[in-house]
Amino acid sequence: MHATSRAGSEHMTADETLSRITILRGQTLAFRDDPFKVGPDAAVDFNSDGGVAIAGGKIVAVGQALDVIARHPDALLETYPDHLIMAGFIDSHVHYPQIDIIASWGEQLLQWLNRYTYPAEAKCADRAHAEATAHRFLDECLRNGITTASVYCSAHPTSVDAFCAAAQSRAFCMAAGKVMMDCNAPDAVKDTAQSGYEQSKALIARWHGVDRLTYAVTPRFAVTSSPAQLEAAGALWREHPTALMQTHLSEHPSEIAWVKELHPGAPDYLGIYEQHGLLGRGANFGHAIHLTARERSRLRETGAGLSHCPTSNLFIGSGLFDLHAARQGDAPIPVGLATDVGGGSSFSMFATMKAAYEVSQLKGYSLHPADAFHLATVGSAGVLQLGHRVGNLAPVLMPTSSSSTFDRDRSWPSACSRSTACGMPFSFR
Ligand code: GUN
Ligand code: ZN
């Protein structure tokens, strides 16, 4: 139970209600810095009696509860002494059409895609199915404290329209894109290089930057996109530099062997994407388990991010992600934490953090809880270029630039480089 105190809210106008400050009081968890870099003690800002003041959907103050209350004496106070108040979790890689195939038995990646995944995604050609699936997916996100995600829709534009409309109507902060896939897959989930480009372009026009939505150009992976489609995806991303780009990279040994056959001229898996203009800041590569030293150094040099999907990697039997190799050194690769539902076996970011700990143990590195929470919030926000909006508890510092979305070709004003503002704090039992 929580206690709420109110003062005179009965006769307020809608504007007054919106600008009215609410203070959440309880145990607060925020990050001052990156625990991988400075260690947990220096990085974590935990307050056993903290306060988070919110107005108009944005955080306006964070600190000791008594200080925040003293600064905002007229605020509505909600008290949650037994709860942890923190930023919403951010799932940096997930497939909403796959919600019904979680924990599908007995296959590794390529067979799993054919037997379970593509048939589930084919159903999203139907608008009613896509809409119902999108809402069930968002229900699960909320139930698990996930308020932002980077979402793969199916190859059908209607699946993106259904998802974005559902997310918009519920004020989620979401990145999403139509998977582009023109080969090595059943017709029911295929597009062509041309139609994939045109449909994605129309979806960008419809959804990118609308409310809290960001479009992600989404060539599925180098197995199901021909060189012509990868080239078209690269062109599309160049034409829309504020959009994100998401795809799969070096997930499973049998996939990597096939990719090598399909793209014989490339130096390695990452090199295929790079040859087609799909590497850079704002690129989000899922899995990235079996990387070479060259691939890691190109990721470091270009500022691209990775999504670590530990429950999926264990469930599908893909391998053990080397978090330490990604994060070490002066220029760590940005890493976010992801469920990868339906390859992943749970919507719970706690289960996902636990799996990340177990995978790290098997790689000879003990993941600290502070690192795990950081990956699931600030880390994922960084990969999605959303650290100025979500992922931490901090007062919002809006950019002075007129654009509120990320632009790879422009840097933020310096006032924003320290900003780690967040939209929705979330409290747990
Ligand atoms: N590689 C290409 N598509 C997928 C997918 O849907 N899930 C996973 N885990 N890997 C993929
Ligand atoms: Zn995936």
Residue 399 has pLDDT above 70, yes or no: no
Return the pLDDT at 386.
Answer: 97
Task: Please state, rounded to an integer, the average pLDDT across all residues of the chain.
Answer: 90
How do the domains of the chain map onto residue ranges? 4-87+392-427, 89-383
Q: Which of 151, 180, 223, 251 to mutate to test the pocket of ligand 1 (most atoms within 8 A of CB)?
A: 251
Quote the percentage of the chain above a pLDDT of 70.
88
Choose between 418 and 123: higher pLDDT: 123
Ramachandran region, residue 50 (left: φ > 0; alpha: ψ -120 to 50; beta: rest)? beta
What's the residue count for the chain?
Answer: 429
Residue 223 has pLDDT above 70, yes or no: yes
Choose between 273 and 399: higher pLDDT: 273
Decide whether 4-87+392-427 matches 89-383 in CATH topology.
no
- The rounded Å distance from CA 120 to ligand 1 centre is 13
pLDDT band at 18, cuts 50/70/90?
A: low
Architecture of domain 4-87+392-427: Roll (2.30)
**Whole-angstrom distance, CA of residue 236 vs CA of residue 321:** 30
Residue 406 has pLDDT above 90, yes or no: no
CATH 3.20.20.140 assigned to domain 89-383? The reply is yes
- The rounded Å distance from CA 306 to ligand 1 centre is 14
Taking the mean position of all CA atoms in its chain, how far away is CA 121? 20
Q: Which of 248, 255, 289 to mutate to test the pocket of ligand 1 (most atoms within 8 A of CB)?
A: 248
User: What is the average pLDDT across 73-99?
Assistant: 97
- The rounded Å distance from CA 249 to ligand 1 centre is 9
User: What is the average pLDDT across 25-51?
Assistant: 97
- The rounded Å distance from CA 360 to ligand 1 centre is 22
**Whole-angstrom distance, CA of residue 209 vs CA of residue 206:** 9
CB-based pocket (< 6 A), ligand 1:
95, 109, 113, 117, 220-221, 248, 251, 312, 316, 340, 343
What residue's CA is closest to ligand 1, atom 11? 248
Q: For 350-368, how does the pLDDT look when each residue is reduced to its tens digit (9 = 90+)?
A: 999 999 999 999 999 999 9
Backbone φ, ψ for residue 343 (5° rounding): -65, -40
- The rounded Å distance from CA 248 to ligand 1 centre is 7
Residue 416 has pLDDT above 70, yes or no: no
Return the pLDDT at 401.
Answer: 29
Q: For 230-271, how does the pLDDT look when each residue is reduced to its tens digit (9 = 90+)?
A: 999 999 999 999 999 999 999 999 999 999 999 999 999 999
Return the pLDDT at 382.
Answer: 98
Return the pLDDT at 4.
Answer: 62
Return the pLDDT at 5.
Answer: 62
Return the pLDDT at 271.
Answer: 98
**Whole-angstrom distance, CA of residue 168 vs CA of residue 166:** 5
3-state secondary structure of 215: strand
Return the pLDDT at 3.
Answer: 59
pLDDT band at 127, cuts 50/70/90?
A: very high
- The ligand minimizing its distance to the Cα of 179 is 1
The model's pTM: 0.91
Highest-scoring range by mean pLDDT, 27-31, 329-333, 398-402: 27-31
The least confident of 12-21, 157-166, 179-188, 280-289 is: 12-21
Orientation angle between helical segments 193-207 and 227-239, nearest 10 degrees = 20
Return the pLDDT at 11.
Answer: 59
Residues with CB under 5 A from ligand 2 (ion): 286, 340
pLDDT band at 57, cuts 50/70/90?
A: confident
How many CB atoms lie under 10 A from the CB of residue 71?
Answer: 15
User: What is the average pLDDT across 299-320?
Assistant: 98
Choose between 19 and 41: higher pLDDT: 41
Residue 142 has pLDDT above 90, yes or no: yes
